[in-house]
Amino acid sequence: MRALAAGVALRAAALCVLLLCANASVAREAPALTSVGSDTLGNLMLRWMQAYRQTHPDLRIALQTPGSAGAPLALASGSADLGPMSRAMTDAERDAYRARRGGEPGRVRIALDAIAVFVHPDNPLATIDARQLDAIWSNGRRCGAVAAVEHWSDLAVGDTALAARPLLRTGRNTASGTFEFFRDRALCGGDYRADVVQFPGSGAIVAAVASQPHAIGNAGFGYVNGLVKTLAIAASPDGPAVLPTPETVASGRYPLSRPLYLYFNRGADGKAQAAAAGFLRFALSDEAQAMVAQQGFVALPPAELAAQRNLVE
């Protein structure tokens, strides 16, 4: 699991990479590679770009992490070569892309991830089920819950002081792929409550929940650390509760498991364009996949990795 401090340090490093590349571009023309998209994938993309540049020293690289919603727009406009996303493009995004570019974007899976649900470490709650998630975060309860969860006593929390307190709900903002994935999977496609406190980054959610005993949050499980307590999730009220681990994510047993994607523009031959093609092959290399686990994600299983490599050959 990656620590919040490490995330801050990597964001600073990303800025340095961008500045160095900008200075280099003044001196000479060189191949360029720009990535615009997921904040969740920001640290991994930075590590990959730093490693890739070791063998491509003249490559000018730029990394922007406005959220997954920024990737389709940047790819369609040609301002990005790569679009990392923590969810699949929506039909509307693909339609807009086709209208602009005249064809489909390319896509490969690059890693596996999960959305973790977590509380303050002093909270006695240990498990939660899918309907309860919907009853906490949504305003319509499409997943079948009878009533909204308003206070911690509604989740059978016995601690007297906490039980009477209302939940402080936190989550990602609308630009995030995590926002959309959690809405589709945990809220059965329903709308979020208006009182959910939204954050632009996963690390900020972890920090907020760690500082507020009555808070609950959800974020990519690679960002979760010892400052909060991760809850085991049951797919149904009478089903087994499962914690997010590399094993349960890879097998799909954890209910909020998800793939992570790297979208790209295709050339006239239907293949990735020059600078992006080499990076895509690197992202699916053994070296890059080893970095996946180091950044708190789950590497692709061998069969899936082979299938994705075939897409970029």
pLDDT per residue over 254-308, tens digit each? 999 999 999 999 988 888 987 899 999 999 999 999 999 999 999 999 999 999 9
Q: Round to whole Å and give the CA distance between 41 and 22.
A: 22
**Dihedral-angle region of residue 113 (phi above 0 means left; psi in -120 to 50 means alpha; beta otherwise):** beta
Instruction: Give me the pLDDT at residue 5, please.
Output: 35
Q: Are 119 and 231 in contact (CB under 8 A)?
A: yes
CA dist., res. 63 & res. 213, Å (int) = 35
- DSSP assignment, residue 89? P
* Phi/psi at 84 (5° precision): -65, 135
Report how far residue 52's alpha carbon sits from residue 286's, in angstroms, rounded to the nearest whole number. Answer: 13
Q: Does an H or E element contain 252, and which?
A: none
Average pLDDT over residues 221-249: 96
Residues 127-182: pLDDT tens digits?
A: 999 999 999 999 999 999 999 999 999 999 988 899 999 999 999 999 999 999 99
Give the whole-angstrom CA distance, residue 37 versus residue 63.
Answer: 9
Average pLDDT of the chain, as a whole number: 90
Give 152's Cβ-side CA count (13 Å radius).
22
Instruction: Identify the pLDDT of residue 29.
Output: 57
pLDDT at 21 over 80: no
CB atoms under 10 Å from CB of 244, counted, come to: 27
What pLDDT is stored for residue 270 in this prediction? 86
**The pLDDT of residue 76:** 97
Q: Which of 286, 267, 277, 275 is nearest to 311 (CA)?
A: 277
Joined together, the tokens standing for residue 186 give 């945990």
Helix axes 202-211, 4-27, angle to 10 degrees: 150
Domains 4-112+260-312 and 114-257 share a fold: yes
Q: What is the pLDDT of residue 130?
A: 97
CATH 3.40.190.10, domain 4-112+260-312, yes or no: yes
Instruction: Look up the CATH superfamily of 114-257.
Output: Periplasmic binding protein-like II (3.40.190.10)
Strands (E), 120-228: 127-129, 168-172, 197-199, 215-220
Q: Taking the domains of the chain in order of start, what are their residue ranges?
A: 4-112+260-312, 114-257
pLDDT at 222: 87
How do residues 54-105 score in pLDDT, each as one tens digit? 999 999 999 999 999 999 999 999 999 999 999 999 999 999 999 999 999 9
Q: Give whole-number Cα distances, 125 to 112, 157, 244, 254, 286, in Å.
A: 27, 6, 16, 18, 39
Task: Give the pLDDT score at 134.
Answer: 98
Q: What's this model's pTM, rounded to 2 decimal places?
A: 0.85
Residues 28-56 have a mean pLDDT of 90
DSSP 116: E
What are the tokens at 270? 């239907």
Q: Residue 149 in contact with residue 167, Cβ under 8 Å?
A: yes
pLDDT of residue 240: 97
